[in-house]
Amino acid sequence: MSKGTGLLIDHSILQERVQVQLRQRHRAEQRFKVYGILSISLAVVFIAVLFATIVNTGSSAFKQTKILLQVDLGGDQFGDNIPPKEKDIEAANFHLLTKRAIYKAFPTVTSRGGKRQLYRLLSSGAPFQLKDIVKESPDVVGKTIKVWVTASDDVDMVIKGKVPRDAGPDLRRLTNQQMGWLRELEKAGALTTKFNTTLFLSGDSREPELAGIGGALVGSFLSILVCIALALPIGVMSAVYLEEFAPKNRYTDLIEVNINNLAAVPSIVFGLLGLAIFLNMFDLPRSAPLVGGMVLSLMTLPTIIIASRASIKAVPPSIREAATALGASRVQVAFHHVVPLARPGIMSGTVIGVAQALGETAPLLMIGMVAFVVDIPGSILDAATALPVQVFLWSDIPERAFSERTAAAILILLAFTILMNLTAVILRRKFETSW
């Protein structure tokens, strides 16, 4: 009885201990779940704050302040030929025509200082806008036309609210007199904001209102084309050889380890490699998309090889065995059966690698793509910059107007990156095969 009672007591104690341990496990699971939810929530909050800050800063750059001018294109600026010839348009003084137009809007301003301040309301690119209009439509010569020209960045900042209108003269770059002229233009309906096409179609400029990312977009596009043309075939062929044909020995193990290490090497190291080989050794053109694409291909190559090998390895051995049983050679098995079935993984890995290369700045800085380039490149040999490098350049300029353009360029870069990752997901789902 006493022995049986002792066993009963031991069993109850054991059961109690098990219950205690179960409660501890359940509490640990609950804590882990809470920690996970907190971590995800914090990450979402940080990302939301980051995006909100960038959007709030950069969204205004997609609009540009314009001033309406009534420009008299008659008189002595275009010679006797109506419509004028191209040489007459090139010789015309569009700066004078622009000045006359803004002076005409405020006839009471007669002093030289006042006229100088009045003309500063306009961008330095306003005469060139007028010239482009006349070049496009020479028939307007001899008439008085209404033209929306770009305002200066100081006016743009005030109209967009980036600089408070009631701020003191020491906090804004416009004088009280210029603020008064702006109010008169607003009352007359001669001041508005329009979609900023200059941001997408123009190259870089020292004037914020004339600066655009057109050259950087084309430079990035050409660099990525070169990167894909080099990295994709070399990466896929390397993966096929290593996975299907290479003997399994210490040398292939060494190559595999080095490929995995290269995927983790800082990107600036690839920039130094490109500087030493492509520029110093082969004397290729500096600041060109050709060299930029070659450097980015070096950086993307390990990612493509690793993704392609994983995708090839995922193809079931039965596919290879069935093809071999039907008389196919090893090359035919690899390229007629394995590679087509591994294509979704290869494509998605390539897109992800290229998307990563699109946002890289450090390797491009090393090969000179940080240069100030105004013209939009026409080929892979022309001097160009890239989108992340353009962001880097603008972020270093203290002018307030460049801050919003920097944020706008970041938004466009993020949009490209998200689009490419979305493409990778769509390609994977479209061509994915279930075994």
Amino acid at 232: L
Q: Which two tokens stand for residue 154?
A: 């100081």
- The pTM (predicted TM-score) of the whole model is 0.82
β-strand partners of 144: 72
Do the beta carbons of residue 410 and residue 333 sit within 8 Å? Answer: no
3-state secondary structure 237-252: HHHHHHHHHCCCCHHH
Of 349, 352, 312, residue with least CA distance to 333: 312
- Give Dmax over CA atoms of the chain in angstroms: 131
**Run of H or E residues at 68:** strand 63-72
Q: Helix, strand, or coil here: 191?
A: strand
CB atoms within 10 A of CB 394: 24
CB atoms within 10 A of CB 234: 14
**pLDDT tens column, 194-239:** 999 999 998 888 899 999 999 999 999 999 999 999 999 999 999 9
Regions of the chain where pLDDT drops below 70: 1-9, 75, 434-435
Q: Burial code of 163-199, b = ≥16 C-beta within 10 A, e = fewer?
A: beeeeeeeebbbeeebbebbeebeeeebbbeeebebb
Beta strands, E only, 283-435: none
